[in-house]
Amino acid sequence: NAQIPRPHEQRIITIANQKGGVGKTTTAVNLAAALAIQGMRVLVIDLDPQGNASTALGIEHHSGIPSSYELLIGECAVSDTIQQSPHNERLLCIPATIDLAGAEIELVSMVAREGRLKAAIQEANLAGYDIDYVMIDCPPSLGLLTVNALVAAKEVLIPIQCEYYALEGVGQLLRNIGLVQAHLNPELHVSTVVLTMYDGRTKLADQVAEEVRSHFGEAVLRAVIPRSVKVSEAPGYGMTVLDYDPGSRGAMSYLDAGREIAARTSARQTASAPASDAQ
Ligand code: ADP
Ligand code: MG
């Protein structure tokens, strides 16, 4: 695989949509693997107590393993929690265990409860790992775990399933992103929208794609993720589709998506360079 340029600074991308089953986890792990295969060093942070991202990356995550839970409540340092993918040395993961299920409630009474993930993964703590991309996989809710992910990131990636009611709940998500931006993290923005589970044989899929494109414009990737059995089978083997079937359409679509996202960095960096010089 051709290499892609490293971003000038680390990019932290939160993958959010409070609707379940839209492809958040699938997109987080496959995009991470696609970037890693193309030379990037990538850290996936699993923030869903279900631990599906950890499973899909072949990362151990039974209860008691140092995980995103210990990180959030301050019992562990980042370095205690990071594991390496068995398939790619450039792909790292902070797993989620079932212990995270209680965090939503435990966090409520904690100091600086919205900023705990951000503090835990700040530059100094990740310094030794030389990470280009951090991908945070959110649970299907807008609670404190998702808020922590939104505070820690600069970018939000919203996966949208090409199905009925695709945009249901997205208004609520955008309002929450707006609130976090206004009060906690002014740099936060929706950088990327990915259309998932696209079935080219149906008219509906095209209608949804068109509606999403008219709503989000440039943020929507040209690469569309097809509905594919290979994509859904891969996690059962503790693999991403990039390892499970590298030549499949699903794998290709995530490679394309990764290249597009990487290209956008340089575009925005070029565009914003004069402004920052002037400050
Ligand atoms: P979420 O994290 O938003 O809940 P998942 O990524 O877990 O969603 O996806 C939900 C289900 O859909 C999973 O069983 C997953 O394997 C399946 N799935 C996701 N993307 C695809 C795809 N492109 N083709 C086929 N199945 C998919
Ligand atoms: Mg998920």
Prediction ipTM score: 0.99
Report CA(57)–ligand 2 centroid distance (Å): 13
Q: What is the mean pLDDT of residues 35-51?
A: 97
Phi-psi category of residue 115: left, alpha or beta, with phi > 0 → left and psi -120 to 50 → alpha: alpha
Specify the pLDDT at position 164: 86
Q: Is the CB of 196 under 6 A from ligand 1?
A: yes
Ligand 1 atom 9, closest CA: 23
**pTM as predicted:** 0.95
d(CA 268, CA 140): 30
Q: Is the CB of 228 under 6 A from ligand 1?
A: yes
CATH number (domain holding residue 225): 3.40.50.300
Q: Is the CB of 197 under 6 A from ligand 1?
A: yes
Residue 3 inside a domain? The answer is: no
Residue 5 inside a domain? The answer is: no
Specify the pLDDT at position 274: 39
Which residue from 29, 232, 240, 253 has its CB within 8 A of the most atoms of ligand 1, so it is best to mutate?
232
Residue 275 inside a domain? The answer is: no
Number of domains in the chain: 1
Instruction: Give yes or no for a contact between 159 and 21, defined as CB atoms under 8 angstroms apart.
Output: no
At residue 205, does pLDDT exceed 60?
Answer: yes
Which range is least confidently modeled, 7-11, 84-88, 168-172?
Answer: 168-172
Report CA(241)–ligand 1 centroid distance (Å): 12
Report CA(124)–ligand 1 centroid distance (Å): 34
Helices (H), the chain: 24-37, 52-56, 68-73, 78-81, 103-106, 116-120, 123-126, 144-152, 170-183, 203-216, 229-233, 241-244, 249-278
Ligand 1 atom 20, closest CA: 23
Residue 85 inside a domain? The answer is: yes
> What percent of the chain is modeled with pLDDT above 90?
88
At residue 276, does pLDDT exceed 50?
Answer: no
Residue 234 inside a domain? The answer is: yes
Residue 6 inside a domain? The answer is: no
Ligand 1 atom 16, closest CA: 232
Where does the pLDDT of residue 271 fall: very low under 50, low under 70, confident under 90, or very high at 90 and above? very low
Q: Whole domain around residue 215: which residue ranges?
A: 11-270
Residue 258 inside a domain? The answer is: yes
Q: Is the CB of 248 under 6 A from ligand 1?
A: no
pLDDT digits (tens, 9 = 90+) for 133-153: 999 999 999 999 999 999 999
pLDDT digits (tens, 9 = 90+) for 46-99: 999 999 999 999 999 999 999 999 999 999 999 999 999 999 999 999 999 999
d(CA 53, CA 205): 26
Cα distances from 174 to residues 156, 179, 189, in angstroms, run 10, 9, 10
Where does the pLDDT of residue 165 fall: very low under 50, low under 70, confident under 90, or very high at 90 and above? confident
Residue 211 inside a domain? The answer is: yes
